[in-house]
Each structure stands twice: as structure tokens, then as C-alpha cells.
Structure 1
Amino acid sequence: MTSVKTEVVGSALWIRLNRPERRNAYDEAMAREIAEILDDAAAYRAVVVTGEGGSFCAGGALSNLSRPTKSEMRRLYSASLKLFDAVRGCPRPVIAAVNGPAAGGGNELIVACDLAVAGRSATFGQTGPRVGSAPVTGATNVMGVQIGEKRAKELSLLCRRYSAEQALDMGLVNAVVDDDQVEATARAWCEELAALSPRYLEIAKISSNIWWNAARDSFSNGVGMLIQAIGSEDMIEGATAFLEKRKPTFAAPE
């Protein structure tokens, strides 16, 4: 199965995450493939990221966390950070067309995107502390700029799920539409962008990265801490419980 599909719609490049059997969660290879596509997207006027099979993106593939090796997990963390940096570094506006659940790194992917439209049935939220990880590549830093620090901590620490309307109220997405209008809305936005100067859109986008760039050391430090925790009891219990569809039982703090 092709993990990532691409198509050109008008002057825009569409990237479709295509692992519906795992809710479009990405592994190292898939994250790097998306990043490479984004790195080569300058010929288009806009980029749209969406998911196949009724899901947007469930973040990193948790099967790796339940039986981790340091080398595999280092590569996954590195690829995840490369993916988000590629969204921010892409010279064209990147639109998230959220057509289903966005969780964990999938929610952070929306944080990285420039614009986001969601279907009414879409859901949002972070999962890190529930599954033996932490959302250090967007949710604990840049998302606070987007939706406010207290709200961002609520998402990162409590691991709740939020509706599309709640995401709109928080400022996580720009618009909520009927599910069957998500792609049409993204296409309409692409047409608006195509009428504007790509040169000055790029200047505006790169200039807007000031908070992302300021948080970049936080990303690297957070990933470093995650690497040191590879194979911890909490990581294995959280991921295993998720895969077994049960509540995790974490040990009391030492």
C-alpha cells in the first residue's frame, strides 16, 4: 500500500495520508516521505494535507512504542520533527483539511499548518501522557501561542478529546464545515491563494515563523528527553494499553 498519495488540483498540491488501518498514523518512512514532498512543493501555489479512510492523522505509530529500540525511536522522533519543520519551511501555504480524528502528532501537525478547515465530525486532542509519551513538538510550546497557554496545557496534560466546534472556539482551526464540504472549502482557499503573489505570500509565511523558530530549542530539548525515556516502564505500559484497548496502569511517582 502506498502510504502517501499526491495529486495536483488546479495549482495546488494535495497530500493524502493513506494508512487508514492505523488511522493514518505515521512511521519514520511515512514522515520522511511527506517531508520530502513538502520540501519540493515550491512549484505549486498551495499545499493541502488530508487523510484517507475517514481519519486525518493519529500521530506517530504506537506499535513502535510498545517494543521500542533506541535506534528506531530516535529515527521516528527525528522524522517527526523533520515533518513539522518541513510544513513550516515549505514556501507555500499549507492547509490542513481535517476530515476525521486528529490525535497526538496529528494534532501537532495541525498546529504546524498555516490554515485548517475541519469537518463537523472531526475530533482533536493530544495523547502523550496517556500513551507513554509527551507532545514536545508543537503542543507544549507553539500551540500556547495559538490558543493560549492554559488551553494548550489543558490539551497536553489532560489528554481530552475536543469537537470541531471547540477547536474553532479555541483558535486551533479557522473554519468548521459539513463533512462533505471539507475538501471543497480547502479547494476554495487554494483558489484564493492562487490569485495572490506567491513571492509575498512566502515572505508573509516565513515571517510568521518567529514563534516557531523561538520554540525550536524547546523541540530539540524535548526530543532529547524523550530519547532518554525510551524503554521506560511508562512508555511500554502506555503504548501496550493503547494497543490492547485498555486503560493504562502507571506506577506511582518515585
Structure 2
Amino acid sequence: MAVCRERSEVSAVEVEHRDASVWIRLNRPERRNAYDVEMANAMITALHGAAEADAVVITGSGGSFCAGGALGQLGDPDPARLRELFTTSLRLVDAIRACPRPVIAAVDGPAAGGGNELVVACDFAVATRRSTFGQTGPRVGSAPVLGATNLMAVQVGEKRAKEIAMLCRRYTADEALAIGLVNEVVADDELEAAVGRWLAEIHRLSPRYLEITKVSSNLWWNAAKDNMNAGLGMLIQAIGSEDMREGAQAFLEKRKPDFRGGRRAGAATDEREPS
């Protein structure tokens, strides 16, 4: 089969048409492909434009899949801009689910925070052995309400999903395979070949009935949407909180956060004040 590749780049997101598939590549390796509003919108546009393809592949560049939303905005947040990032992130994961074509996460390297939630949102996931998975929310002053606190429980079980979402542990690719977060793990240099096999298999199937099957399988995603909106509302109300600032600043400074330090200082001040 001849390979036809057309590439365009919009705000650090490369969209490449390979025969009947659309590849969306995040291209900000210096920040582990953490996305901003412009990048999220570029992905949404590419997903909306892929209705005539056989399938969509989301991947990253530079040895990382995606570190989620850009955390630099949390340390000194602009409420309007951060609200836009949060709401656009919801539109992004919903666009993955609303896309009539199967969406494959091709993971090479860390899938962290919102990047792990992108894996949750995708229909299939293929990962290299060096890849890692996990949430970052409570560790960095946030909460993973766009998949990890709701839909992920359907994929990996409630107790395991709470462990992943609340404790922010890291999981190897083999561990992710064992719990059902990914479909296949391959050698580090075989990712594109493995994804190609998935695409070839999809190409032999009926697009119409694949779409019907995908729409029908969105039962649990649709049930989680109200929960996602509620969680997003709480995140927006918490913009600028002490925990958000401390978590983001600690992450950027590569140190452990001290979420209780401010509370201890405040309590000590209250004790010294005369009654």
C-alpha cells in the first residue's frame, strides 16, 4: 500500500495524514508535551476533521507522551486563562469520545496527569516498555476529574482507580497492561509498527458499524459527564488556592510540596493573637 503523508503544524501540534489514518503528535518535548489552550484546540480541530479517516492516533515527541495541562499556569494563575484551560481540556477528552473513528493512544514515555487521562479517554492504547503512567493531581495541587476519578474505575476497578487518582503513584507499562489501562506493550523501537498492525486490522472492518459500536460503548463516558462538569466547577472555584500555588511551585522547583506548612503557620499566628 502506498503511503501518503500530508503534514501541517498548528501551535506545536503536528497533524499528519497517513493513508486512511490521522496522526496527532504533541510537539513540546521540552515540557514533556504538556498542552496549553492552543494545543488542546488544535487537537480538537484535528479530531473533528477525522470523520473520513479509518482511525486517529494520538502520540507525543521527544520521548514523552503527554504531561497533561501546562503546570506553569498554576503557580501564579490567571483565573480567566486557567478556567479556559480547564474547560478546553474537557472539550478535548469529549472530542476523543465523540470522534466517530477509533482513537489510539500511541504512548512512548511518561503519560502523566492529564496525559494519563488522555489514555483513559482513547479507545485503545499501545505503549512502549519504557512508558510510565500515573496521575499528578493531589501531588501538584489539582484533581484529575476528567477521567481518572470517574471513567477509569470502569477500566481498572474502583479501588485501583482511587489508588491511581489519589496517591499519584507511577506504573510501568507492564503494570498498566495488567490492570487494563493499555491494550498492548511493545519494545521501545516497535511502537509505530505495532500501531500500524492495529490500523491495518481496523481498515478491514466496517466504518459504519465501528461507529455504531463506539457510540454505544460510550455508555459509561456519558454517565460520567455530569460528574466531570461538577468536578471541573470545583477546580475552577479553587483557582489560586494555597494548595494549588504550593503544588505547582514545588513541581516547577523540583521539590516536595509542603501543603500543610501554610496551615501550621496560620494556626500558630491564631494562637499568638490575644483573645
Indicate the TM-score class for this superposition, using the shorter chain for normalisation.
over 0.9
Equivalent residue number for residue 73 of structure 2: 64
Q: Which residue of 2 aligns with 1:111?
A: 120
Q: Between 116-125 and 9-18, report the one with greater CA deviation.
A: 9-18
Q: CA deviation at 1:10?
A: 2.3
Identity %: 65
1:223 aligns with 2:232: yes
1:136 and 2:159 correspond: no
Which of the residues 180, 184, 207 maps onto 1:198? 207
Does 2:8 align with 1:3? no
Q: Report the counterpart of residue 76 of structure 1 in structure 2.
A: 85
Report the residue type matching 1:62 in the other structure.
Answer: L
Q: 1:92 aligns with which of 87, 90, 101?
A: 101
The TM-score normalised by the length of structure 1 is 0.98
Match of 2:249 in 1: 240
Q: Deviations over 1:81-109 (max 9, x none)?
A: 01000000000000000011000000000
Shift, 1:29, TM fit: 1.0
Unmatched segments (≥5 aa) in structure 2: 1-8, 268-275
Residue 49 of structure 1 aligns with an amino acid whose one-letter code is I
Q: Encode CA deviations 1:131-162: one digit per residue, 9 max, x unaligned.
A: 01000000000000000000000001110100
Amino acid at match of 2:157: G
- In structure 2, distance between residues paired with 1:243 and 1:152: 26
Mark the structure with the bigger radius of gyration.
2
Amino acid aligned to 1:184: A
Number of aligned pairs?
254
Residues 168-197 of structure 1, C-alpha deviation per residue, up to 9 Å, x if partnerless? 001000000001111111111011101110
Aligned partners of 1:32, 1:96: CA distance in 2, in Å?
18
Rounded Cα–Cα distance in structure 2 between residues aligned with 1:61 and 1:7: 23
TM-score calculated relative to the size of structure 2: 0.91
Higher relative contact order (CA 8 A, sep 6+): 1
In the other structure, the counterpart of 2:163 is 154
Runs (4+) off by over 4 Å: none
Gaps of at least 5 residues in structure 1 are none
Structure 1 Cα separation of the partners of residues 56 and 37 of structure 2? 21
Secondary structure of residue in 2 paired with 1:180: coil
Q: Which letter does structure 1 place at the counterpart of 2:24?
A: I
* 2:185 pairs with 1:182: no
RMSD: 1.2
State the match for 2:182 in structure 1: 173
Alignment correspondent of 2:59: 50
Determine helix, strand or coil for the equivalent of 2:133: strand
Q: Output the CA distance in 2 between the equivalents of 1:187 and 1:44.
A: 14
CA distance in 2, matches of 1:235, 1:90: 32
Other structure's SS at 1:47 match: strand
